[in-house]
Chains A and B, each alone.
Chain A
Amino acid sequence: MNLLPSLMPMLDAVRERFEDRLDAVVAPRANEVYFHAHPDLVAGFCAYLYKAWDARLTGVFADDAVAEAGVFHLYYVYTLDAAGGFFILRVPVPPNRPEFTSLTNAVHAVNWQEREIQDMFGLKLIGHPNARRCALHDDWPEVHPLRKDFDLRAPMPPFQGERHKFRQVEGDGVFQVPVGPVHAGVIEPGHFLFSVAGEPVLYLQLRLFYTHKGTEKLFESLPITHGVRLAESISGDSSFAHATAFCHAVERACEVDAPPRARALRTVCLELERLYNHIGDIGAICTDVAFATANMHAMRLKDRVMRLNEHLTGNRLLKGMARLGGVRFDWAEDQLEPLRRLPGQLRPEFDSLMELIADSTGTRDRLERTGTLKPETARNFGVVGIAGRASGFNHDLRRDIPHAFYDQTQFKVPVFTEGDVLRRLEVRRVEVGESLSIIRQTLERLPAGPVFVPIDEVPAGRVALGYVEGWRGEIYHWIRTAPGNRLARCKIKDPSLQNWPALSEAILGNIIPDFPVVNKSFNLSYSGTDR
């Protein structure tokens, strides 16, 4: 196998340590290694990789391979940032003993992911601290939609009403405040139950998956090319990042590389997506602390980027641009010209907006030390992306495991340790500047050539991991291909999924009126979580 040299020492060490317990080691790609083993190995493998190699468990999911292999498979994806690759442990679960042992007590980050496996595959979760339903709400019948014997269009009885038993918080003067799923602002649906004593929040229970749309199951029913469009609708604000992660996975399965110009154009689009979201969020954070003027300026700049998106891709959210093997549209001179001018035009205006915010001491007072997520908690919860980097998480796939054109550009990854709303805003501020610089660098050395390689046939029976650092954090798409250019499985991992529980930690001790600004500073995707 043609393995990345930096992964060699780890592979040797893992082999030496677990040799007799590994059924197979397969490296379909230079930075993606699969270890097949018995479920007994799950806990030990995890502990070893965390301790010895500083790995992060970034995804846990199941795959119904009963038809092909007679078992369900569980996959544990470890990201090895320092070495630039992924170790993936695969263990079987026999259908006649459909259960698996939880890792949540050791790695909080997998809490919801494990419960989702239990709901969607009917594999019983052993030893989980709160093994209740999560992805399917309590009133769902006993169905397991991601099992192959479940029909995508199976009619479900209508929703009868909330059956969820929230944990009671008791004590003198404690009361509970339910909010949602329909909120006061223009945001996505979710239910928050605050327990407060006086003003401070003692406990926050989150309930999501209101926008569950059967997306992963739907992928299995579509030709792979249609999947690109579906991937654009996983989380609208990350349309391009999700669609690119999907294309990346398919390209890796086909052993095809997008041509250099395509990778450059992808990089530009990913940065445009980062720009309009970051600028919009900075404005929205200001609104939530009553600095509406700043938001108006931010929205003006955001719209400028969205108009440029439309000019470059036909759609303000960059929808329609992604394609397997590259991107759909090359850019003519009349499109490149305003793009080239963007950094020079936007930068001074953005700086002046940030000055306005910095000069507003009232705003700073509200943002500083609000919604603090300590680095230690962030690490325990596996928090990634913006929220992670505001709390000491020094990782960014664009730098550590570069995709697209990022290995050809230079940029700073801002990291803070205070973990408050102000630092989440600061991460965005710095990243906006870096995005503009990445766009400039990319355009300066824009390679010539085609913007895609055609992918007409996707070989069956392949597995592949696609990854993209979206504006919110790292996005993973894992696929297993089936005959006829179809997918047997598409696992979508939006960064929101593991960041949500950390929000409950960040709000502790804060007052409910500060919740909107804390929530906004995380700005997690409900649809990306619920799918």
Chain B
Amino acid sequence: MFDVLRKSLKVGVVTSSYPATPAALSPHARGCPEIDFAQWQDARPAARVCPTGAIAFTDAEGRRTARLDLGHCVYCGLCAEVDPAIRMTRRCEIAAYRRPDLISQATYSLKPDGTHERLVKGPDTPAPMVAQPKAVAELGRQIQAEAARLFGRSLHIREVDAGSCNGCELEISNLSGPIYDLERFGIHLVASPRHADMLLVTGPVTRNMELALKKTYDATPTPRLVVAIGACGCGGGIFGVNYATRGGVDAVIPVDVYIPGCPPNPYALLYGILQAVRKRAQA
């Protein structure tokens, strides 16, 4: 017993001070890609190397509408390797209240060789909520108060794996560790949907999990929040829609907040969960 105590005292406090301070990320961390739409010369090479279809375009009548959908993007960075107008950021704290807010797009007129002549529409970048360091600092303090006002107590979360590759689960489990420590915000991961205010759902929702997900949703008392986790949860990710998957979580149940990433790292998860609570508090 004393040894256990001694060890813990020796190690000291390891919990990250996030969100009071910005997320501690490696300078080499890959967050979401960013497209300089004004300078974008040609969407085709990036679309060709993009493994998930996150970068895609449609050509019609001499015009091209090209887009980046963070609801599929796995932050692999392959697009940025072939296209100087795209760069990988370290931005990971991203959350959106609406699915279209994960999509940015622009329309170009085309030159005969298929490259972009000039921007004719857009860029339409409804920019998902991205962390502002100041606003983030507020969140930590707000969260408990808002959850208390909303639910009359702390926030209880139930996690549902509706078909993920288990990468998202790995990071969600890390939230209850000493570094990210969800509990310090009064947020608990609970064992049953009947005790939950919020569902964290990873996807893509498989055909075999569709019913179980619906039942879990129905068993969650209202008001309930649903947070779709990861590229797969947001839009089906690299799996998309096929004979065995339904795509993103919102194909099956209504979603309040989308958190992209593959998987979203613990900061991104914390940020998105805080945004979800805030959304309800604002409503």
Contact = CB atoms under 8 A, between A and B. Distances in A.
Contacts of B28: 310-314, 335
- Mostly, the A contact residues are loop
B206 A212 contact: yes
Given A217-B242, A233-B237, A161 B211 contact: yes
B212 interface: yes
Contacts of A230: 51, 238
Contacts of B208: 137, 159, 209-212
A17 B124 CA distance: 71
Contact of B74 (A209, A319, A525): A319
Interface stretch (A295-303, A374-382, A391-399, A450-458): A295-303
Nearest to B31: A314
A320 B239 contact: no
Given A145-B243, A300-B177, A229 B76 contact: yes
B168 interface: yes
Contact of A229 (B30, B51, B168): B51
A185 B51 contact: no
Interface in A336-384: 352, 355-356, 359-360
A84 interface: no
Contact of B165 (A234, A312, A320): A234
A159 B26 contact: no
A489 B12 CA distance: 52
Contacts of A209: 208
Contacts of B172: 186
A177 B168 CA distance: 29
Contacts of A152: 242-243
A106 B14 CA distance: 53
Contacts of A359: 3
A237 B75 contact: no
A214 B171 contact: no
Interface string A216-239: 011000100110111001111101
Interface in A190-220: 209-215, 217-218
A213 to B, nearest CB: 5
Interface in B18-55: 25-30, 49, 51-52
Interface in B192-229: 192-193, 204, 206-212, 216
B105 interface: no
A155 interface: yes
Contacts of B164: 188, 211, 236, 527
B239 A158 contact: no
A141 to B, nearest CB: 10
B244 interface: yes
B239 A215 contact: yes
Contact of B265 (A296, A316, A352): A316
Given A188-B169, A320-B75, A214 B245 contact: yes
B20 to A, nearest CB: 19
B11 interface: yes
Interface string B1-17: 00110011001001000
A150 B244 CA distance: 12
Interface string A509-531: 00000000000000001110000
A210 B75 contact: no
Contact of B242 (A143, A214, A235, A352): A214
18 contacts: A145-B243, A152-B243, A158-B210, A161-B211, A186-B161, A212-B207, A214-B239, A214-B243, A214-B245, A217-B242, A233-B74, A235-B165, A236-B169, A310-B29, A315-B262, A320-B30, A356-B7, A360-B4
Interface of A: 137, 143, 145, 150-156, 158-161, 181-182, 184-189, 209-215, 217-218, 222, 225-226, 228-230, 233-237, 239, 280, 293, 295-297, 299-300, 302-303, 306-307, 310-317, 319-320, 334-335, 352, 355-356, 359-360, 525-527
